[in-house]
Amino acid sequence: MGSVVGACYCAGLELSLLERLAIHAHRSLWLDWTLPHKGLVAGNKLEQLMLLLTRKKTFAQLERPLAVVAADLCSGNKIVFREGLVARAVRASSAIPGIFRPLEEEERVLVDGSVVERVPAPTAREIGADIVLAVDVGIYFNNQKPQHILDVVTQSIDVMQRDLCQYSLEAADIVISPHLEEIAPGHFHRAAEAIKAGEEAAHSMLPQIQELLEKEGLL
């Protein structure tokens, strides 16, 4: 989801439109179920939707700089996209293992970047960011039972990433952490609640953000 939102924002899409899409768009708009060969969802619909939303832009054509992170299952390496079609990179970065079919390019088999870097703050540093504001949607273990196959997969990944997540967050100057304990990964119908939680968390961190910007001479 981070790559989807980031790509739309950097392509110049109005955030109010993106919010309406998150709340009102039916899953059939971006989910194309397929026979479970490497994944339950083919991912072609998502790529077509991103081509539409980003107006088929390449990274060089974006209004703001963007990097999209994926993981290569063959080499185990982090792959950072900064050139080519944005929609293609988002397709790779959104391929949650077991849910979306991986994107296969030449010798690479690409999946969701969270496999190697759950919060891509280190990548932001690597590409030259002076200040990194990270958003961590959280890893919660509150005895909540998975209700959907997406919940099973993402909660399993969360269990494996507890320690890795801390490493990623250490690269950030400020971490915004929305309270999403009651919203499971498959709860797309609760997008409005998730957006509100994100807004509240961001507002609560504004004093720290302002202090940091003043310290760096940017205000």
| Predicted TM-score of the model (pTM) | 0.84
| Tens of pLDDT, residue by residue, the chain (219 residues) | 899 999 999 999 998 999 998 898 887 787 787 766 778 888 899 999 999 999 999 999 999 999 999 999 999 999 999 999 999 999 999 998 888 999 998 899 999 998 889 899 999 999 999 999 999 987 776 666 777 777 777 777 777 776 667 778 899 999 999 999 888 777 889 999 999 999 999 999 999 999 999 999 988
Q: Where are the beta strands (DSSP E) in the chain?
A: 39-41, 68-72, 78-81, 98-100, 103-105, 108-112, 133-135, 174-176
Q: Is the dihedral of CA 74, 80, 85, 91 positive or negative?
A: positive
Alpha helices in 74-190 (DSSP H): 86-93, 121-126, 149-160, 162-169
- Per DSSP bridges, beta strands 98-100 and 39-41 are parallel
The helix/strand/coil state of 128 is coil
The helix/strand/coil state of 39 is strand
